[in-house]
Amino acid sequence: MAPTLEHQVTETLSPQLMLPDLYRIQRLKMETGDTFTLEMIPDNGVSLSFLPGQFNMLYVFGVGEVPISISSDPSASPVIQHTTRVVGTVTKAMGTLKAGDAIGIRGPFGTHWPVERAKDRDVLIVAGGIGLAPLRPALFWLMSHREQYRKIVLLYGTRSPDDILYRHELEHWRGKFDLEIQVTVDRAASTWRGNVGVVSTMIPRAPFDSSNTTAFVCGPEVMMLFTVMELRKRGVTSAHTYLSMERNMKCGIGWCGHCQFGPTFVCKNGPVFCLEQIEPILGKAEI
C-alpha cells in the first residue's frame, strides 16, 4: 500500500530536535511594506519534508529564534519558504538577511491541514491577513491534486489592498477557473473595485455545499471566532472545521510550556486543531 500524506513525515521526540540545521538564504522577497518571504536551501543538500500547516523554528544567529509557519509548496524541495511580518527583534533582523547568509532551522513541528481527509468534499479556505501564509502549502497541495476535490473556495481578507499577499499566485489560480477566490479589505481607496468588509461577511454567500464541506481557517483569533459563528449558521460542522492557532512558542516540542492553550500545547497538539478539540475554550480570555 502506498504511504499516505501523514506517513511522509515522522515525528520523533529527541534532543536532536533542539539543534538547528544550517540553511542559506537564496532570496528575500518583500510581499508588502512590512511582510517578506524568505527562500532558503539546506547547506547539507538534504530536503526538508513537511506537511501543509506545519511550522519551523527559525534561528537568526546572535539574535534569537522564532516559530514561523512554512509557506512553500510541499513538493518544491529542497527550496523552503517562510513568510513573516516584522513584529520584533528576531523578525527585524531576519528582514536584513541577504542571499548567501546563514540561518538555522529546527523542524518541521506540529499538526497539519487534513487535506487527505477532505478528499471528495468542497474545501473552504478562510484566511485573514498573514494567515494566508500557513494556508498557502495547503492551496499548493489542493491545486496539484485538483481532481480529488470538489469545489475549492478561498475567502481572503486584509486590512487594505496594499496588504494582499501572493498577488501573482492568486491571479494565476483565479485564471485557471478551478479555484473560486474572493478577496475583501477592511478599508480601501476609490481605486479598489473589490469587496469591502471583514472576511467573515463573505461566508453567507460563498459558493459551497455546507453539508459536504471541510473548512480550513487561519488569521487573528477574533477573525476566526466570527468565522466559526458564520460557518455554524451555514451548517458546517465543528468536526469538519479546522483552525490554526497562534501562541508564544519557544521550544517547538512541548517541553517549555510557553504555548499552553487550555489542556493542550499549540506547538505539539497544534497549531492546526479540529474545532471540536478547542471549541469550549476558543475566544476565552486568559486561555
Contacts of 108 (CB under 8 A, 6+ apart): 9, 48, 49, 50, 51, 54, 55, 56, 70
SS3 29: strand
Cell numbers at residue 71, please? 509557506
CA gap 127, 159 in Å, rounded:
12
In a structure prediction context, what are the per-residue pLDDT tens digits for the chain, which is 287 residues long? Answer: 444 544 444 444 455 577 899 999 999 999 999 999 999 999 998 888 999 999 999 999 999 999 999 999 999 889 999 999 999 999 999 999 999 999 999 999 999 999 999 999 999 999 999 999 999 999 999 999 999 999 999 999 999 999 999 999 999 888 877 899 999 999 887 788 889 999 999 999 999 999 999 999 999 999 999 999 999 999 999 999 999 998 777 788 777 888 888 888 888 898 999 999 999 888 776 66
Question: Where exactly are the structural domains of the chain?
Answer: 5-109, 122-244
Which residue is associated with the grid cell 538555522?
104
Report pTM. Answer: 0.91
Beta bridge partners of 135: none
Structural contact between residues 208 and 233, judged by C-beta atoms closer than 8 angstroms = no
- What is the CATH T-level fold of the domain 5-109, as seen in this structure? Elongation Factor Tu (Ef-tu); domain 3 (2.40.30)
181 sits in the region (left: phi over 0; alpha: psi -120 to 50; else beta) called beta
Structural contact between residues 157 and 181, judged by C-beta atoms closer than 8 angstroms = no
- What is the CATH T-level fold of the domain 122-244, as seen in this structure? Rossmann fold (3.40.50)
